[in-house]
Amino acid sequence: SQQGEEDPQALSIQEGENATMNCSYKTSINNLQWYRQNSGRGLVHLILIRSNEREKHSGRLRVTLDTSKKSSSLLITASRAADTASYFCATDAGGFKTIFGAGTRLFVKA
């Protein structure tokens, strides 16, 4: 069964605006990751946040994790046209396995 559920399913913004994507999950986790996928390509790891962390930054990315609400958010600040992609949250499922959410498709208009 799918662990992570993301919203919105699609997001369209202007270049320079911030983009926020949310992820909810169902069971306890050790960590949560965010991946990016450009159209027709593989996934690229962006950031990992552990269950004992509340916030993490990497460049223009900011991830928060609320384990009490079983939710996470990914904020991309000052978005660029090149940020257009699908973004997936992923949670550990034990035994080296990871379960991916359905993703948020982000469109950044130049």
The least CB distance from residue 26 to another protein, in Å, is 14
Residues 10-49 that bind another protein (CB under 8 A): 30-31, 33, 40-45, 48
The least CB distance from residue 98 to another protein, in Å, is 6
Would you count residue 95 as binding another protein (CB under 8 A)? yes
| Rounded Cα distance, 46 and 60, in Å | 11
- Give the number of residues in contact with another protein, rule: CB under 8 A: 24
Would you count residue 73 as binding another protein (CB under 8 A)? no
Please report, to the nearest 10 degrees, the dihedral formed by the alpha carbons of residues 73, 74, 79, 80 taken in order: -140
Residues found near another protein in the complex (CB under 8 A): 2, 4, 30-31, 33, 40-45, 48, 88, 92, 95-103, 105
